[in-house]
Amino acid sequence: MSAWRLVEEESEPRQPRTGRPRTGGRRMLVVAAVVLLTLVGAGGLAAARTGMFAERPDGCVKPDRTIQLYAVELPKDGTQVRLGYGLTPQTASYPGPLMEMMEGECLAITLHNQVPEATLAALRTSPTHPLGVSLHVHGVKYTQDSDGTVQSGSYVPSGGSRTYTWYAQPRNNRTGAQGTAGYWWYHDHVVGGPHGTQGLSAGLFGGLVVRRPGDPKPDRTYTVAFGDRQSINLRRGEATDTCTEVNPQPGPTCLVARKGERVEFVVVGIGNDMHTFHLHGHSWADTRTGVVSNGQPFADSVPIIDNKTLGPGDSFGAQVVAGDSVGPGHWMLHCHMQFHSDAGMSTMLHVLDENGNMPPGMDHEHGAAGATSATAADGGEHQHD
Amino acid sequence: MSAWRLVEEESEPRQPRTGRPRTGGRRMLVVAAVVLLTLVGAGGLAAARTGMFAERPDGCVKPDRTIQLYAVELPKDGTQVRLGYGLTPQTASYPGPLMEMMEGECLAITLHNQVPEATLAALRTSPTHPLGVSLHVHGVKYTQDSDGTVQSGSYVPSGGSRTYTWYAQPRNNRTGAQGTAGYWWYHDHVVGGPHGTQGLSAGLFGGLVVRRPGDPKPDRTYTVAFGDRQSINLRRGEATDTCTEVNPQPGPTCLVARKGERVEFVVVGIGNDMHTFHLHGHSWADTRTGVVSNGQPFADSVPIIDNKTLGPGDSFGAQVVAGDSVGPGHWMLHCHMQFHSDAGMSTMLHVLDENGNMPPGMDHEHGAAGATSATAADGGEHQHD
Amino acid sequence: MSAWRLVEEESEPRQPRTGRPRTGGRRMLVVAAVVLLTLVGAGGLAAARTGMFAERPDGCVKPDRTIQLYAVELPKDGTQVRLGYGLTPQTASYPGPLMEMMEGECLAITLHNQVPEATLAALRTSPTHPLGVSLHVHGVKYTQDSDGTVQSGSYVPSGGSRTYTWYAQPRNNRTGAQGTAGYWWYHDHVVGGPHGTQGLSAGLFGGLVVRRPGDPKPDRTYTVAFGDRQSINLRRGEATDTCTEVNPQPGPTCLVARKGERVEFVVVGIGNDMHTFHLHGHSWADTRTGVVSNGQPFADSVPIIDNKTLGPGDSFGAQVVAGDSVGPGHWMLHCHMQFHSDAGMSTMLHVLDENGNMPPGMDHEHGAAGATSATAADGGEHQHD
């Protein structure tokens, strides 16, 4: 454990090796430090390291809501270990549960790590890396205590639990706070290595939507994570679409809607690769909400798009009115990188008619000869050059 | 052919494995299906599969305009098969003809597939994949009958023809329709495999601009597709620029303008790789039109850029006033990925003076020692790491 | 040297192989050329080639300010040659000095090339490529004489100097000029090859901010270049962060601020790879300034983000109020491509409290076992597929 402990000393902040004009004559009080450096090699010490930073972000006096969240091991997908977050251990999944907040709301999430330590040990890439699961979130506010990182000690050893506080800070013209409404995501930052790479690829991630009063209300929301090995929500090819013709059950692997319903996608990039999110027959506004109010003068300037590049860590919202003008049908949703879609990074938005019927006339083959699982041998033969 | 045929049954739509709050108590009528599954293995059956979905999107009562479009085989580029769309068979090219629509317009395009079946057979990646050419479009509205995909049967066998209907749906505040004005593109979705990968890389693509009343009117429009093998419009190095010093002919491989002309680029990403579109000496607004009206209060918030990342499937518009402030000259236009530009992914916008003269003083070498064709051996030696 | 010299001849500009409607009946005066082609193989000829285009862009009657800039060789980083720009030879660095301009301002920068010719010769990729260093800038206006490219001859042989003129053209509603305020960068375009690839990877680049009256004023500005070999400002792992616990000195490898300070990042993409810029605990508006004024009606439409994809050549600004709501701490700043961050493409924004103290309680390990320098063997083992 190291501390930046400071003794008083006055100094001008210098900008070494830059020639920029000084923006002000500010002085900075800096204080000489006595450095206490202790390497933390065991997750069990994590609890002991908390409490030195504020538990809650400024503006969150008290959580408005509490949630119990479980990290569990799921059945393997081929040889690939799968982990998931769930509101109960029995409902853990990948992606994890969609979280929804209103701007201004403060949420306390208690994460229970039920992943066996042996599983975490098998996933880690260095023998000194701590064993634990964490919860790191994008977009909303949290203190270092809820950062979900190794260096802040904010993770949970197997069998333990820890409460993370998220604050959907609202806009504030006086302080310049920009607000936190948006399409975000949460994920582990600890399993396997200091960036949670193994936790993410095993399934420890989910979507988060923070709304602002007046935002359009969707009829359905689907989380769609585009990731490595040509995967959508860690599946590819036929495994991306488990819809049955009879009574299809909406979920991360069954994107279905009735004509006229407002469908919202929380699109997330994970892993190592670039992707593009493309949907046939539908388009959306490249704005905070995925919608633009046409009465506004700037509506003329906003791009309407049907394909959007996203890198790992990116997230955005796309809202469409299912089947508007184009009618019902099996509308392809895929990555437009050709070698990705050819390898099975392609699924369907099934749009039924207003009565919940699909007109006859076509199958809904994905057109991907690819494997049914992202853990199968790679179908892509692309050479980057 | 499978049909989602439904018998009445009431069920609550469940959101399995997600914890999001129910946004409403809606019920969904779902009906048990009798599944009729017939695999369609021959393009010749395609015609038989149409007509079960609407032919035209809602809002298009009757096409305002009709176009004949021909898909033909062009002379090989080295060993690379080349295909092109053309308004006549004799004028087919890659990229294909620029399409322009006004919001509100409905267009019927009859595609005549004149590509020999043997050529399509040689390009396909699976012996059961159907032989045909299609027309898939981004941004505007179309029913499944005009989707241009295998699964919807909306493609054309060799020697056949098929009419595709595109509707440039306008904005509608009541229904929430976002409008379709924008910079789009069209392409084959069938040649070689279910995503048209071979058709695209052979040349079956083109640009589409949908305008809104009041949009700025360009003096010249150039389609610029950034794609695999460090290519601009499927060429690289010297082949990207066929301008002659005497009477240069504007076209996809000769980007030329006079100082003061408003030049519009329809920039499209195709293939497998990421690229960035960069133009020397000029910049544009990152908006729907590539322009921002400076009188608007939000003009202060809009980024002005001279380099934009695009992935496959992305398309955007960039509008510049040629030579404004910077004067005439040979202005480089290239991908800013260094190994791409070094391998010849670089061309020029030649800006002549107001009288159509180029001041003396410089050659217009592209500075790429690279091959003259994208089909040559790759010049890039980059290792992704 | 070739010249587009023109004799009078009238011709209709044709759009060969495109079917777009003619946007006007304009005629183009084109003039037959006498081509004088002389290959320039020596940087020494560069001076002789200037002066045929205007020296200054329209709107810049006379420079408002002059700067001396030096290109020098710095100590090697392992086996990697390092070059840097500096306002003095002694303060050269990578990135080079941050340049700041106001819209409307015209700047004359005299570049002195103090890099030994032998070093430039060792870096070039072709024996006929000229030896020199140049200054190419994004976003602002310059004539061909200040383009910094080989083909325009606007570079500087070793021991020489050359003045480049940059004009931060303001918005103009009458002419349609979009303005040049934004977050830009400058770089060499000549060292090693015609795109300056070796110059860039050696360190010849820096940030540029052009402001508009009324823009928010930052307390601190940091240039952050994301580039090849998992590097931030050409370093990786521990080398990205040279902050000391006692009196940390702000600079390109020490990102530090006090709670409440407005911190501005000039984020630049260089090299060959895609990256994403992610900052823990903070977010910014995806606008020209990285900020949105919340009183504006369009503020509701602007995305607030904490992760942004950037390709080579891209640049943008991100402004955050350090520690707002989240408090002090060691906030990770990293590429969210997992194999990049795992290999050490990760540093910290150290946020001290209002008094300049860091609360005790945690070390600031980067969590990257990676090498301390981007020149070390690659740690990434990612296979693109």
Residues A173-184 have a mean pLDDT of: 93
List residues bridging with A162 in a β-sheet. Answer: A111
| Helix-strand-coil split of chain A, %, nearest 5 | 10, 35, 55
**For residue A258, what are its two tokens?**
């009735």
- Counting one residue from chain A and one from chain C, the pairs whose CB atoms sit within 8 A come to 288
For residue C62 the two structure tokens come to: 């006379």
Asked if B355 and C183 touch (Cβ cutoff 8 Å), the reply is no
Residue C1: list chain B partners with CB under 8 A.
Answer: 361-363
One-letter identity of residue A354: E
C249/A14 Cβ within 8 A: yes
* Beta-bridge mates of residue A193: none
B381 touches chain C (CB under 8 A): no
Mutate to test the interface with C, among B87, B228, B246 (most CBs of C within 10 A): B246
Closest residue by Cα to residue A282 from A253, A309, A318, A236: A318
Tell me: domain B38-211, CATH 2.10.109.10, correct?
no
Interchain pair C328, A289: CB under 8 A: no
pLDDT computed for residue B295 by the predictor: 75
Q: Which residues of chain C have pLDDT under 50?
A: 1-3, 5-51, 364, 366-385
> Do C307 and A289 count as a contact with CB atoms less than 8 A apart?
no
Task: Please indicate whether, in this complex, the C-beta atoms of B23 and A355 are within 8 angstroms of each other.
Answer: no
Give how far Cα C284 sits from Cα of B346, B385, C280, C316, Å: 33, 29, 11, 11
Q: Which helix (H) or strand (E) covers residue A8, if one does?
A: strand A8-11
Residues composing chain A: 385
Most C CBs within 10 A among A5, A7, A8, A18, hence the mutation to make, goes to A18
User: What residues of chain A lie within 8 A of the CB of B38, using their CB?
Assistant: 363
| Domain B1-36+216-385 part of CATH 1.10.8.60 | no
State the pairing for strand pair A182-187/A136-137: antiparallel
Query: Phi and psi at residue B341, in whole multiples of 5°?
Result: -65, -40
- Cβ C230–B385 below 8 Å, yes or no? yes
Beta bridge partners of C211: C102
| Cis status, amide bond into A75, omega within 30 of 0 | no
Token code pair at residue B224: 């610029």
**59-118 in chain B: CB under 8 A from chain C:** 86-87, 91-93, 97-100
Specify the range with the lowest mean pLDDT, choosing from A369-373, B16-20, B227-231, B238-242. B16-20
Of A198-202, B136-140, B356-360, C265-269, the poorest mean pLDDT is in: B356-360
Q: What pLDDT band is residue A21 in, cutting at 50, 70 and 90?
A: very low
Q: Considering CB atoms only, which of A278, A329, A357 is closest to B313?
A: A278
Mean pLDDT of A262-289: 98
Inter-chain residue contact A33 with C365, CB threshold 8 Å? no
Q: How far is CA A6 from the centre of its chain?
A: 37
Within 8 A by CB and 6+ apart from A214, the residues are C300
Q: Check if the beta carbon of residue B15 is closer than 8 Å to that of residue A252.
A: no
Tell me which residue in A11, A16, A167 faces C247 most closely, judged by beta carbons: A11
Closest C-alpha among B384, B133, B107 to residue B273:
B384
Q: Which H helix or E strand runs over A101?
A: strand A99-102
Encode pLDDT of A254-263 as tens digits. Answer: 999 999 999 9
Which of B 43-62 lie inside 8 A of C, CB atoms?
none
Taking the C-alpha atoms of residue C12 and residue C24, their distance in angstroms, rounded to an integer, is: 11
Residues 214-233 of A with CB under 8 A from B: 216-221, 223
| Best A363, A378, A381 residue to mutate vs chain B (most B CBs within 10 Å) | A363
CB of C35 within 8 Å of a chain B CB? The answer is yes
Using omega within 30 degrees of 0 as the cis cutoff, is the peptide bond preceding C213 cis? no
Strands A80-86 and A182-187, by their bridges, are unpaired
pLDDT band, residue B223 (cuts 50/70/90): very high
Q: Among residues of chain A, what percentage have pLDDT more than 70?
A: 80
Q: What residue ranges do the domains of chain A occupy?
A: 1-36+216-385, 38-211
Taking the C-alpha atoms of residue A316 and residue C357, their distance in angstroms, rounded to an integer, is 36
Please name the chains neighbouring B, where neighbouring means 3+ C-beta pairs under 8 angstroms. Answer: A, C
CB of A253 within 8 Å of a chain B CB? The answer is no
Residue A214: exposed, middle, or buried by beta-carbon count in 10 A (0-12, 13-18, 19+)? exposed
Residue B59, strand partner residues: none
Q: Which residue of B has its CA nearest to A92?
A: B17
Interatomic CA distance for residues A21 and C217, integer angstroms: 12
Q: Compare CB distances from C327 to A38, A54, A171 and report the shortest one's residue.
A: A54
CB B252 within 8 A of CB B233: yes
Q: Hey, what are B152's tokens?
A: 């919807």
Minimum-distance CB partner of A139 among C247, C248, C306: C306
- Summarize the confidence of residues A229-239 as an average pLDDT: 97
Any chain C CB within 8 A of the CB of B151? no
Task: Answer whether C312 sits within 8 Å of B337, measured CB to CB.
Answer: yes
Supply C123's token pair: 């870096």
Q: Is A186 on the interface with C (CB under 8 A)?
A: no
pLDDT digits (tens, 9 = 90+) for B137-184: 999 999 999 999 999 999 999 999 999 999 999 999 888 899 999 999
Q: Please compute the mean of the pLDDT values over residues A266-295 and round it to a whole number.
A: 95
Tokens of C369: 């076992």
| Residue A379 pLDDT greater than 50, yes or no | no
List the 320-359 stretch of C: residues with Cβ below 8 A of A: 321, 324-332, 334, 336-342, 346, 350, 352, 355-359
Residue B359: what pLDDT?
85
Interface touch A368/B169, C-beta < 8 Å: no
Residue for token pair 């050893």: A157
Closest partner residue to C33 (CB to CB) among B218, B246, B334 is B246
> What's the per-residue H, E or C state across chain B?
CCCCCCCEEEECCCCCCCCCCCCCCCCEEEECCCCCCCCCCCHHHHHHHCCCCCCCCCCCCCCCEEEEEEEEEEEEECCEEEEEEECCHHHCECCCCCEEEECCCEEEEEEEECCCHHHHHHHCCCCCCCCCECCEECCCECCHHHCCCCCCCCCECCCCEEEEEEECCCEECCCCEECCCEEEEEECCCCCCCCCHHHHHHCCEEEEEEECCCCCCCCEEEEEEEECCCEECCECHHHHCCCCCCCCCCECCEEEEECCCEEEEEEEECCCCCEEEEECCCCEECCCCCCCCCCCHHHHCCCEECEEEECCCCEEEEEEECCCCCCCEEEEEEECCHHHHHCCCEEEEEEECCCCCCCCCCCCCCCCCCCCCCCCCCCCCCCCC
Query: Which tens digit of pLDDT belongs to each residue from B24-46?
Result: 333 222 222 222 222 222 222 33
Confidence of residue A361 (pLDDT cuts 50, 70, 90): low
Is any Cβ of chain B less than 8 angstroms from the Cβ of C20? yes
Pairs across A and B, CB distance < 8 A: 292
C21 CB neighbours in chain B (<8 A) are 100
Residue pair B179/B212 in contact (Cβ under 8 Å)? The answer is yes
Q: For an interface test with B, which of C10, C20, C23 has the most B Cβ atoms less than 10 Å from its Cβ? A: C20
| Alpha carbon of C29: minimum distance to chain A alpha carbons (Å) | 35
Report chain C residues whose CB lies below 8 A from the CB of B379.
none
Lowest mean pLDDT segment, chosen from A13-27, A338-352, B345-359, C309-323: A13-27
- Structure-block tokens of residue A219: 């009829």
C168-190 burial by CB neighbour count: b if 16+ within 10 A, else e?
bbbbeeeebbbbbbbbbbbbbbb
Q: Of C314, C41, A132, A153, nearest to B336 (Cα)?
A: C314
User: Which of the residue ranges A124-128, A228-232, B106-110, B181-185 would you say has the lowest mean pLDDT?
Assistant: A124-128
Q: In angstroms, rounded to a whole number, what is the distance separating the alpha carbons of residues B185 and B190?
A: 16
Position B361 scores a pLDDT of 62
Residues A312-335 have a mean pLDDT of: 97
SS3 assignment, position C274: coil
Q: Is B305 on the interface with C (CB under 8 A)?
A: yes
Are both B1-36+216-385 and B38-211 of the same fold? yes
